[in-house]
Structure 1
Amino acid sequence: MLQFPLWKRILIIGLCLLGLALAAPNMFYKRVEQHNDAATALVKNGALTAEEQGWLAGWPSWMPSGIVNLGLDLRGGAHLLAEVHLSEVYKTRMESLWPELRNALAAERGTLGAIRRVPAPDGQLRIQIANADQLPKAIEVAKTLAQPVVTLTGVGQTDLAVTGEGDTITVQLSEAERKSADERTMAQSLEIVRRRIDAAGTREPTIVRQGTDRILIEVPGIGSAEDLKALIGTTAKLTFNQVTGTATSDDQTPGAGKEVLPDAERKGLFYVLESVPVVTGDDLTDARPETDQNGRPAVGFRFNPAGARAFGDYTAAHIGEPFAIVLDGKVISAPTIQTHIAGGSGIITGNFTVQQSTDLALLLRAGALPAGMTFLEERTIGPELGADSIRAGMIASAVGFIAVVVFMVASYGLFGAFASIALFINIAFVLAFMSIIGATLTLPGIAGIVLTIGTAVDANVLIFERMREELRRGRTPARAFELGFDKAMSAIVDANVTHLMVGTILFVLGAGPVRGFAVTLIFGILASVFTAIWLVRMMIAQWFAYKRPKTVVV
C-alpha cells in the first residue's frame, strides 16, 4: 500500500493532467466553438473572412479543441416530427411502369386488341383490353415484367401483383414489395434529411425513425422550426422532360403519358410534357452554384455515366426542340437544344438570387426525397431558454459539488479533502470523455453529472469507514489504510457493476434524452472507480510517506 511505484504515480498523474487538459476547452466554450467553426471553414473553403481569422486566432492551435456538444434543450433549436407519404412511392412506381407495360401489351395487339389505360386509385395501374376473352394472356404478359423481391422475408415472391376482372387487368405492388419499398423509402429519407442538414453546417442533429412512417428531427442551433422546414421540407425532385407543346391552363387534358406543368416564373404559361423523364436528378453526381454567360446566378450540374449517355443521346436526336428542366412540379427552364450536349454536364438558369442558387445546389447534391412529408409536430426552443437551462444546470452542479465537499471534509477531514479533489478530477474526466467522442450534453445529461457528483464519493465513504473500523481494532495506520482499501473493494465493485449494467440498458434501449443521461452516468461511474481507488490511494500514500504519522484520525 505505502510502496507506490514511481511508474504508477507518473501514470496516474499523467492521466489526470490529460483529463484536465481535454476538459479545459469547455471552460471557454464560445471561443473554442468559434475557433472550430473557423478551422472547418478554412478546410472547406480554403480561405477565411477577417472575422473568421479572428476566431481562428482566438484559441491556441496546440491546445485541445474538442468540446461537448450542447443538445437542443441547452442550445435552443428546432424540433420536427415528419410523416413520410409512403403511398407516393407506390404511385411513382406505377407511373414509371406504364410505358414499359404499354409496349409489352402493344406487342400482343393482334391477340389482345386495342388497349387503353383507365382511371385507377393511386398506386394501381388498370389497363382495359378490347378482347376480354384474352384476359389471361394479358395477365401473363404483365407478369413477365415482375422482378423477384430482394429481401429475406420476400424470398420466392415478385414485386408485382397482377389480377384481372372482365376486360381489365389491375397491376400494383405486391405486399412483400410494399414492405421492402417502405423500408427503402424510410432509409433513403433519413439519409437525405441527414445530408441536407449536415451540408447546412448545423451541429449534432438528432435524426431518427419513429414507427413505420415517421422521422424525428432535432437540430440544435438553428433559428426556428420554419428555417428547418425550409431546409428539408422540399423534395427537390429534378427531372428533364421532353416538351410536346404549351397550354394556357392546367385544365387542359394532355393525353395519355403526358402532363401539364406550370412555368415557375411566368404566370399563365403551362407546358405539355412527356410524363416519363429522359433523365432524373437521381443521375446527378454533382451540383454547385455558378454564373451563366451574363454573370447571373445559376446552378451547374454533372451526370453519372448512365445519365450522361441518356442526356447526350437525347440532345443529339432532338436538336432545335425545347427541353424542360422541372423542379418540384414546376418548369424552371425550357431552353431549346442548340447542339449535341456531350460529357454529361450542363447549367440550370433562372431568375435566381445567389442564395437561391446555393440552396438549390445543396438540395440537388443531397438528392431528392423519395416521397413528400407532412410535419405533424414542430417546436422552436429559443436560445434564451437554452441559456436558462445551462445556468440552472450549472447552479445545480455547483450546489451539489459544494454540498458533497462540505460533507466529506466535515466527516473525514483531510481524507475528505482528498476525496473532494478526486471528485473534481472525476467531473473533468466525464467532460473530457464526452469531448473526445463528440457526445451531446442535454438536460438529462446534466442530471447524470449531478447524480455522479452525489455517488462518486460512495467508494471513498466505504473505504474510509472501513479504515475507521480497523483503527478502532488497534491496527497501525499503514495496516488500517491497506485493509480499508482491500476489504471495501468487493462492495465497490458490486455497486459499480450494477450501476454500469443499468446505464448500459438505458443506453441500448433508450432514445434521445434517456441515452444522454445514460452516457454521462456510464462515464461518471468509470471515472469514479479510477479516481476513488487509484487517485485517492496515491494521495494518501504520498501524504503518509511524507508525514509518517504515529496515529491517524479518519
Structure 2
Amino acid sequence: MTWRRMAPWVILVIIVVAAFIDIPRKTLGVTWLPNKVGGIGFRTVLGLDLQGGIRVTLQAQPQPGATVTSEDMDIARNIIEQRVGGIGVSEPQVHTETSNTGQRRIVVEVPGVSNESQVRQLVGSTGQLQFIDPKGQQLADGQDVRPLVQKGTVGVLFDGGEIQPGSVAPETDQGGQLGVSFTLKDRGKATWCAFTTANVQKPGPIALDGKIITTPTIQSAICGGQTIITVGSGSTTAEAQRTSLYNTLRYGALPVSLSEVGVDSVAPTLGAHFLTQALVAGGIGLILVLLFMIGNYRLPGVLAALALVFYTLVNYAIFRLIPVTLTLAGVAAFILSIGMAVDANILIFERMKEEIRAGKTLGPAIEAGFNRAWSSILDSNVSSILVASWLYWQGTTVVRGFALVLIIGVLVSMFSAVTVTRTMLRYVVRTEWGRRLALYHVER
C-alpha cells in the first residue's frame, strides 16, 4: 500500500489518539476514561509561573583542593528530587545547570508549595548526620560544632553512612515525642554500643550538617543498633521537622555542599493573570491568522485552518504525554509556533498559484506546488530547530522551556502543513466543486 493511500488513515488515527489524550476528563465529567495507558500517564503540568510556588537556586561549594563532578551533581539532584517528593509535593522540577562563570547549580522548582521554609531547609541541607562524642563539653541544640571538631575538642563517632537506608521510619517514643528511628550497620552498632555503655546518664548529641539537632540523655546502653532521634512533642512545627529529618536520612547525604544563592516566590494569582492574557493574545492571533489565510487563499486557506486545528490537538497531546511543563515562556513559544505553522502553507499555496498561472491544471499544479516548496520549508524549519536546540542546550530554565515547545511545534507543523493539508487537497480536487479555480483565488 502506498503512502498516498495510507496517509488518510494515519491522520485519522493520530486525531483519535490526540483527542483521547486531550479530553479534559474532570471538566466534561468523563472521569471513567483512563488517565494512563500502558504505564504512560496523561497530565498537564503547569510550571511555577502559572501555578505559583517557589524556585530555589543552589550553588555547589567544592571542598578545598577538590572539584565538583557532573556525577556528583546528578546524584545531588536525584536526592533533592526524592526529598521534595517525600513531603507530598506534586511534580517538583529539579535540574542542574552551569552559570556563565562556570559555577555548577541545582535549580529546584516546587509548584503549589505551602511551607516555603520547610522546602528551603530540605533542599539546602547537605544531610550529613554525625553522632558526636562531646568529651565533657556542654553542647546546646543549634550549636555549630564544626569548629570544635576541627580543634579536636569534640569527636565524631560515625556519620550517617552507618545507617541502613531501608530501616529509616517515622516514630513516636513512649513519652509522646516525635522522632525518626533507624538501625545502624555493624560498625556503627559496635561504636554506638561502646559509647552508650560508657556514658550512661550523659548526653549523646547528634548533629546534622554540623549543627546539634538533639542532645538526648543516654538512659542505658544501646547495643542492638536500633536508635531514635526525637525532635519534640506533637506540634505542627515538630511534625514538619520530623518529616524533613525523615526524608534527609532516608535518601542519604548529598555528595557536595550547596549554598542558597537565590529564592523566587510566585503567587498563583499572578501566574493565572498572565496565563489569561497570554491565552487571549493567542486566541486573537489565531483568529487573525485564520482570517488572513481564508481571505487570501479561499478554499486552501480553509483546509489550512483545519490543518491548524489538527496541529493544535497533536501539540497539546504531546505536551500531556511527555509531559512538557507549561510555563509562560512555553505558552509564548506555542503562540509563536501557530504563526510558523501556516508559514509552510503560504509557501505551498503561492507555488501552487504560480503553477496554475503557468498553465497547469489544478491536480498537477497542487503536486508541483508541494514539491517545489518542500526544499524551502525543510531549510527554514531545520534552521529553526537548530537555533531552538542551541537555546535548549545552553539556556536557563525559562529559555529551555521556550525552546522545547518551539521544537515540538516546528516538527508537528511540518507534518500538518505538508502531509495533512496535501491529503485534504488531493481529496478535494477529486470532487467537481473542488476543481473550480475561483475557490483558489487565482487570477490567470
Q: Shorter-chain TM-score category?
A: 0.7 to 0.9
> Structure 1 CA distance, aligned partners of 2:45 and 2:194?
50
2:108 equivalent in structure 1 = 217
Residue 60 of structure 2 contacts residue 103 of structure 2 at CA under 8 Å; is this kept in 1?
no
> Structure 2 CA distance, aligned partners of 1:371 and 1:355?
24
Deviation at 1:456, TM superposition (A): 0.5
Residue 132 of structure 2 contacts residue 207 of structure 2 at CA under 8 Å; is this kept in 1?
no
Q: Does 1:338 align with 2:216?
A: no
1:67 equivalent in structure 2 = 43
Aligned residue for 2:168, secondary structure, equals strand
Alignment of 1:431-450 (within 5 A): 431-450=316-335
> Structure 2 CA distance, aligned partners of 1:333 and 1:77?
35
Deviation at 1:477, TM superposition (A): 1.9
1:16 equivalent in structure 2 = 15
> Structure 1 CA distance, aligned partners of 2:14 and 2:104?
47
Instruction: Single out whichever of 491-500 and 522-531 deviates more from structure 2.
Output: 491-500
2:262 equivalent in structure 1 = 377
Give the RMSD, CA atoms, in angstroms: 3.2
Cα distance change of structure 1 residues 312 and 181 upon mapping to structure 2, 3 Å threshold? farther
1:288 equivalent in structure 2 = 169
Residue 231 of structure 2 contacts residue 242 of structure 2 at CA under 8 Å; is this kept in 1?
no
Using structure 1 for the length normalisation, give the TM-score.
0.67
> Structure 2 CA distance, aligned partners of 1:228 and 1:338?
36
- For 2:182, give the aligned amino acid: F
Residue 118 of structure 2 contacts residue 244 of structure 2 at CA under 8 Å; is this kept in 1?
no
Deviation at 1:9, TM superposition (A): 1.7
Instruction: Single out whichever of 6-15 and 385-394 deviates more from structure 2.
Output: 6-15
Cα distance change of structure 1 residues 183 and 497 upon mapping to structure 2, 3 Å threshold? closer
Structure 1 unaligned runs (5+)?
A: 33-56, 91-177, 248-260, 266-272
1:386 equivalent in structure 2 = 271
Deviation at 1:245, TM superposition (A): 3.1
> Structure 1 CA distance, aligned partners of 2:382 and 2:259?
45
Alignment of 1:260-279 (within 5 A): 261-263=139-141, 275-279=154-158
Residue 176 of structure 2 contacts residue 233 of structure 2 at CA under 8 Å; is this kept in 1?
no
What do residues 180-216 of structure 1 show as CA deviations (whole Å, max 9, x unaligned)? 3687876665444333223232424244344436544
> Structure 2 CA distance, aligned partners of 1:11 and 1:484?
23
Residue 240 of structure 1 contacts residue 323 of structure 1 at CA under 8 Å; is this kept in 2?
no
Q: Does 1:327 align with 2:207?
A: yes
Aligned residue for 2:227, secondary structure, equals strand
> Structure 2 CA distance, aligned partners of 1:331 and 1:236?
12
Residue 239 of structure 1 contacts residue 279 of structure 1 at CA under 8 Å; is this kept in 2?
yes
Aligned residue for 2:265, secondary structure, equals strand
Structure 2 unaligned runs (5+)?
A: 144-151
Cα distance change of structure 1 residues 185 and 277 upon mapping to structure 2, 3 Å threshold? farther
1:203 equivalent in structure 2 = 91
1:137 equivalent in structure 2 = none
Aligned residue for 1:335, secondary structure, equals coil
- For 2:206, give the aligned amino acid: V
Percentage of pairs with the same residue: 29
Deviation at 1:550, TM superposition (A): 4.7
Aligned residue for 2:359, secondary structure, equals coil
Cα distance change of structure 1 residues 352 and 521 upon mapping to structure 2, 3 Å threshold? same
Residue 426 of structure 1 contacts residue 531 of structure 1 at CA under 8 Å; is this kept in 2?
yes
Aligned residue for 2:67, secondary structure, equals helix
What do residues 91-144 of structure 1 show as CA deviations (whole Å, max 9, x unaligned)? xxxxxxxxxxxxxxxxxxxxxxxxxxxxxxxxxxxxxxxxxxxxxxxxxxxxxx
1:38 equivalent in structure 2 = none
Instruction: Single out whichever of 219-228 and 461-470 deviates more from structure 2.
Output: 219-228
Aligned residue for 1:245, secondary structure, equals coil
Cα distance change of structure 1 residues 279 and 537 upon mapping to structure 2, 3 Å threshold? same
**Equivalent residue in structure 2 for 1:492, among 371, 377, 393:** 377
> Structure 1 CA distance, aligned partners of 2:311 and 2:71?
44
Instruction: Single out whichever of 385-394 and 486-495 deviates more from structure 2.
Output: 486-495
The alignment covers a number of residue pairs equal to 413
What do residues 368-416 of structure 1 show as CA deviations (whole Å, max 9, x unaligned)? 4567655343221111111012111111211111111111111111221
Using structure 2 for the length normalisation, give the TM-score.
0.81
Bigger CA radius of gyration? 1
